[in-house]
């Protein structure tokens, strides 16, 4: 498993600080395309790639989700979302990202007609995005009633239908909020049984009540319980934790203790 951390979740928006921490710990950085869009004065893809090479730091990329909905049933919103996602994947390719993490989108109302229309839009969007320049890892959400995909089987159908270049991000704490340890296992088993690969993990913590993004070990998620199930995982993982430098370091220590990595 190749570990990294989300600089934006940790609050390290100064690239120099993020690179220094990643180099010190020997881990990667998960870049936020949303942040790149909001603050164009940040280093661009070419500069980030060179900074990474100089520091010996690699990247994963969190593809945009702020004001973006690939499942939108509104044509103008869907088209804009698709265009932004295409540019984001170009950015991910330009920084030589190991993987790009993708959110699946929302619907305004859980009406059967809207649900089916949104799923068709989402599937069509992934078709238009393929084959992607970097592997795309579709993330489990289901934190809100507006999130389109609520069950592991729905996510598997979408990703398997997307074809080559698409796989999964398992966000363990998202599943923990949705349904506890049993729901984490349900997602993990569905992904591992799928013909599409499990590519990436998001690691943070909470108390099972909300998506708090606490440092690993600061909540109640039983990380040691998943040591065996993830023992052979050879993909990437990002610590999406708050708490700045110490939050990242404490999470790394807790993860090493839980999983012997």
The CATH code belonging to domain 2-259 is 3.20.20.150
Mean pLDDT to the nearest integer, 7-12: 97
Task: Return the pLDDT at 102.
Answer: 98
Is residue 28 packed enough to be buried (19+ CB in 10 Å), middle (13-18) or exposed (0-12)?
A: buried
CA 25/CA 246 separation, integer angstroms: 12
Mean pLDDT to the nearest integer, 85-113: 97
CA 238/CA 213 separation, integer angstroms: 12
Query: Taking 90 as the threshold, does the pLDDT of residue 13 lie above it?
Result: no
CA 148/CA 86 separation, integer angstroms: 21
Percent of the chain scoring above 90 in pLDDT: 99
CA 246/CA 252 separation, integer angstroms: 10
CA dist list (Å): 211 to 3, 35, 94, 107, 177: 21, 20, 31, 20, 7
Arithmetic mean of pLDDT over the chain? 97
Query: Taking 90 as the threshold, does the pLDDT of residue 209 lie above it?
Result: yes
CA 184/CA 72 separation, integer angstroms: 27
Which among 186, 214, 220, 218 is positioned nearest to 202, based on CA atoms?
214
**What pTM did the predictor assign?**
0.97
Query: Taking 90 as the threshold, does the pLDDT of residue 85 lie above it?
Result: yes
Task: Tell which phi-psi region holds residue 60, choosing left (phi > 0), alpha (psi between -120 and 50) or beta.
Answer: beta
Beta strand 59-62 with 100-102: parallel, antiparallel or unpaired? parallel
Query: Taking 90 as the threshold, does the pLDDT of residue 258 lie above it?
Result: yes
Helices 15-25, 45-55: crossing angle, 10 deg rounding = 30
Which among 165, 122, 161 is positioned nearest to 141, based on CA atoms?
122
**pLDDT tier, 261 (very low <50, low <70, confident <90, very high otherwise):** confident
Query: Taking 90 as the threshold, does the pLDDT of residue 152 lie above it?
Result: yes
CA dist list (Å): 198 to 7, 28, 169: 23, 18, 6
**Domain boundaries defined on the chain:** 2-259
Tokens (6 digits) for 145: 């009633």
Query: Taking 90 as the threshold, does the pLDDT of residue 139 lie above it?
Result: yes
Task: Return the pLDDT at 190.
Answer: 98
Could you give the 3-state DSSP secondary structure of residue 251? helix
CA dist list (Å): 207 to 44, 146, 152, 196, 201: 37, 22, 22, 30, 19
Query: Taking 90 as the threshold, does the pLDDT of residue 94 lie above it?
Result: yes
């Amino acid at each position: 498993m190749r570990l990294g951390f989300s600089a934006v979740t940790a609050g390290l928006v100064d690239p120099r600080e993020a690179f220094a921490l990643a180099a010190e710990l020997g881990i990667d950085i998960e870049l936020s395309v949303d942040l790149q869009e909001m603050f164009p004065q940040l280093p661009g893809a070419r500069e980030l790639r060179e900074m990474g090479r100089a520091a010996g730091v690699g990247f994963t990329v969190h593809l945009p989700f702020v004001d973006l909905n690939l499942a939108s049933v509104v044509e103008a919103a869907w088209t804009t979302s698709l265009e932004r996602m295409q540019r984001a994947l170009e950015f991910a390719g330009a920084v030589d990202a190991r993987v790009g993490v993708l959110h699946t989108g929302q619907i305004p109302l859980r009406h059967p007609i809207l649900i089916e229309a949104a799923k068709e839009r989402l599937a069509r969007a992934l078709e238009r995005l393929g084959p992607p320049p970097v592997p795309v890892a579709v993330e489990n959400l289901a934190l809100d009633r507006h999130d389109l995909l609520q069950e592991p089987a729905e996510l598997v159908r979408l990703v398997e239908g997307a074809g080559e270049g698409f796989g999964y991000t398992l966000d363990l704490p998202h599943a923990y909020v949705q349904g506890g340890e049993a729901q984490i296992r349900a997602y993990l088993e569905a992904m591992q049984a799928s013909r599409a690969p499990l590519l990436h993990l998001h690691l943070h913590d909470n108390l099972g009540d909300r998506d708090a993004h606490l440092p690993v070990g600061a909540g109640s998620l039983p990380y040691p319980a998943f040591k065996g199930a993830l023992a052979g995982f050879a993909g990437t993982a990002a610590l999406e934790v708050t708490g700045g430098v110490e939050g990242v370091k404490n999470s790394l220590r807790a993860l090493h203790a839980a999983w012997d990595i």
